[in-house]
Structure 1
Amino acid sequence: MAAEGGTKAILAALFANAGIAVSKFVGFLITGSSSMLAESVHSVADTSNQGLLLLGQKTSKRKATKAHPFGYGRERYFYSFIVALMLFTLGSAFALYEGIHKIQHPEELSSPMVAVVILVLAILLECYSFRTAIVESRRLKGDKSWWAFIRQSKTPELPVVLLEDAGALFGLVFALLGVGLAVVTGDPVWDGLGTVMIGVLLGVIAVTLIVEMKSLLIGEGASDSELAAITDELASGDVERVIHIRTQYLGPDELLVAAKLALRDGLELADVARAIDEAEKRVREKVPAARLIYLEPDLYRPVRV
């Protein structure tokens, strides 16, 4: 479900950004607008980013090997992290450089209405991509706020596409403002200022994604609600209590659970094995992402002060 939704959002963004990139480059060649150039590079970077996200989804499905016994699920996090770096370097850094250059050395725009028409069409295409990302993300978001979804989601592609599309929409608006004000005032410096605003916006989005993807790449545990559900399911039947528990996401749909359990006294070996098997079954039914579960029976020794 998560992978299918993420793929649909990625493909929508890929086709939209590819078309937008071509039209923006044509607009830049006609007008010479730095905002158009910055947006062109931004769209090319976004198109490449969607390709990397699709690559990450494909390579993460490889079977586990002796060298990688837990599989390749984290490759989706790795490629999402690379996407964030590309957004920062190709998008933000280039836009800031180009904008500052045009402010220091302003140049008159030629055929600015061509840029306006292209930007308006690009906004419509980007709205389609953004809407697709919102619809697919809403299925996983639940009752969380959008910011909480971006911060807590274990599916990296949807937050990446959401923030990319939001940044693209605002970037197009900034470019439109820059070109429009340059035409109205006759001062091409506004075009450079619009480009700088695009660079700052992309920088903020890129840093946010870098922080979140780094956290996933290092390894995040189950959410509070998932951890509570797992603990409740474990502490049932012949299991008296969970002594301690550790969890970690090995990929968006694969959670590792390791716990030490205190079992009821006097159980035979066969009963211990049955209690462990039943505990694993309960957890998997409640939290399907918990695919790898390692449980160790032990005696509970309360700490005495």
Structure 2
Amino acid sequence: MTAEGATRTTGPERPEGKAGGQNGGQDGETRLTVWVALAANLAICVAKAIGGIIAGSPALLSEAAHSVADSINEVFLLASVKRSRRPADTRHPFGYGKERFFWSLLAAVGIFVTGGCFSVFQGVEAFRSGGGESHSGYVIGLIVLFVALLAESVSLLRAVLQVRRAARASGRGVAAEVRAGRDPALRTVLAEDSTACLGVILAMAGMALHMVTGEVAYEAGASVLIGVLLVYVAYVLGKQARTQLIGEAVDPGLQGEIRALLESQPEIDTVTSLLTMRLGPDSALLAAGIDLTAGYDSETVEDAMVRIRTDLQERWSELNQVFLDVTDAGSARRTGVRLPRPQG
């Protein structure tokens, strides 16, 4: 029996526990990073709210709203890490990896509504009302913000260190790793903490200028800027989550390496199609159409498909769903060619 009679499609034997075991260490590190951010935000939120009420500061109250949004989002992110590791079942045969993307989208919405919109509202209200000032209250507010900046910096440092370790492991630079951002929980914490540090600096500047000049416009403007910054961050995070939820392919460089490996196999004559989709931060699906070299019998082809699939998964562990479809490259090309109409 020749390869023409072989099974047309081969799929993976589902690797049990792969989703949770192989990358459990990285998930544990991500959970710790989120817990550090949550603890910092809860403490800072209370301090900012008390200081904002005492000082009557719109910028400080905006920062308190920012911390509330961040705290809620960290709860979402902790839920995403846990829920995404549930094993595949009959209703979700590819697992629950996309839970990460869903919860990161909710986090982006939380930043937009709770943080961004409230901050802009506080700033506009301060412009309208004119605001009052209390020297002692503003000193308290500035002290609270300075302590908040230290706490946010510690949380940001934790997230940056994890990104640097991930960058070393993947052989990329830190900037490239941030752009790649396959773990939405880590990416969200990094964005939140970076924005929080910048927001605190803006709030401190606005409060200080208000205290020195007596002009509430400085502080109201700082509150509006904080809101605009949060809206922009929410937009960027939401756009990334949307792309991943719809179905994002793996990196073009990785696609090229996969194609090169397939084309290097003696049993494969041509790779007619190569489709990929991320199923989670460390999980991806590969569906490739291949045209076989003539002369192999069905048993040899089946053994080759198993070997090729194993090679792919050993080299790229994220490819835990691999499907190889045996096609005829000549037929595939002919379907796109219009035959000339007979004359006469």
Same fold (TM over 0.5): yes
Q: Deviations over 1:43-95 (max 9, x none)?
A: 01101100100001111111222221111110010000000011001110010
- The residue matched to 1:132 in structure 2 has which SS? helix
Match of 2:238 in 1: 210
Match of 2:213 in 1: 185
Tell which deviates more after alignment, 29-38 or 293-302.
293-302
Larger Rg computed on CA atoms = 2
8 Å Cα contact 1:229-1:286 kept in structure 2:
no
Is there any run of 5+ residues in structure 1 with no aligned partner, and where? none
What letter corresponds to residue 126 of structure 2 in structure 1? K
8 Å Cα contact 2:164-2:174 kept in structure 1:
no
Q: Give the superposition deviation at 1:126.
A: 0.5
Tell which deviates more after alignment, 84-93 or 10-19.
10-19
Q: Give the superposition deviation at 1:145.
A: 5.5
How do 1:176-255 residues align onto structure 2 when only pairs under 5 Å count? 176-235=204-263, 236-255=265-284
8 Å Cα contact 1:234-1:280 kept in structure 2:
no
Match of 1:60 in 2: 84
Match of 1:298 in 2: 327
Match of 2:301 in 1: 272
Match of 1:45 in 2: 69
Inter-partner Cα distance in structure 2 for 1:131 and 1:20: 17
Q: Deviations over 1:168-196 (max 9, x none)?
A: 01100010011100111012222211111
Partner residue of 2:180 out of 149, 152, 173? 152
Match of 1:129 in 2: 155
Partner residue of 2:131 out of 107, 111, 116? 107
CA change 1:38–1:89 in 2 (3 A) is same
Partner residue of 1:12 out of 25, 33, 36? 36
8 Å Cα contact 1:64-1:72 kept in structure 2:
yes
Match of 1:77 in 2: 101
Is there any run of 5+ residues in structure 2 with no aligned partner, and where? 1-24, 338-344
Match of 2:15 in 1: none
Q: CA RMSD in A?
A: 1.5
Structure 1 residue 98 corresponds to structure 2 residue 122: yes
Inter-partner Cα distance in structure 1 for 2:28 and 2:252: 25
Inter-partner Cα distance in structure 2 for 1:237 and 1:285: 19
Inter-partner Cα distance in structure 1 for 2:261 and 2:32: 34
Match of 1:281 in 2: 310
Q: Which has the higher relative contact order, 1 or 2, with Cα contacts under 8 A spaced 6 or more apart?
A: 2
- The residue matched to 1:64 in structure 2 has which SS? coil
What letter corresponds to residue 184 of structure 2 in structure 1? P
Match of 1:174 in 2: 202
**Identical aligned pairs, as a percentage?**
32
Q: Give the superposition deviation at 1:138.
A: 1.6
- TM-score w.r.t. the length of structure 1 is 0.95
| Count of residues in Structure 1 that have an aligned counterpart in Structure 2 | 304
- The residue matched to 1:237 in structure 2 has which SS? coil
Structure 1 residue 27 corresponds to structure 2 residue 51: yes
8 Å Cα contact 1:106-1:192 kept in structure 2:
no
Match of 2:18 in 1: none
Q: Give the superposition deviation at 1:134.
A: 0.6
What letter corresponds to residue 94 of structure 2 in structure 1? F
- TM-score w.r.t. the length of structure 2 is 0.85
Q: Which runs of 4+ in 1 moved over 6 A?
A: none
What letter corresponds to residue 296 of structure 2 in structure 1? L
What letter corresponds to residue 132 of structure 2 in structure 1? E
Partner residue of 1:259 out of 275, 278, 288? 288
Inter-partner Cα distance in structure 1 for 2:299 and 2:161: 49
Inter-partner Cα distance in structure 2 for 1:138 and 1:237: 39
Inter-partner Cα distance in structure 2 for 1:136 and 1:5: 8
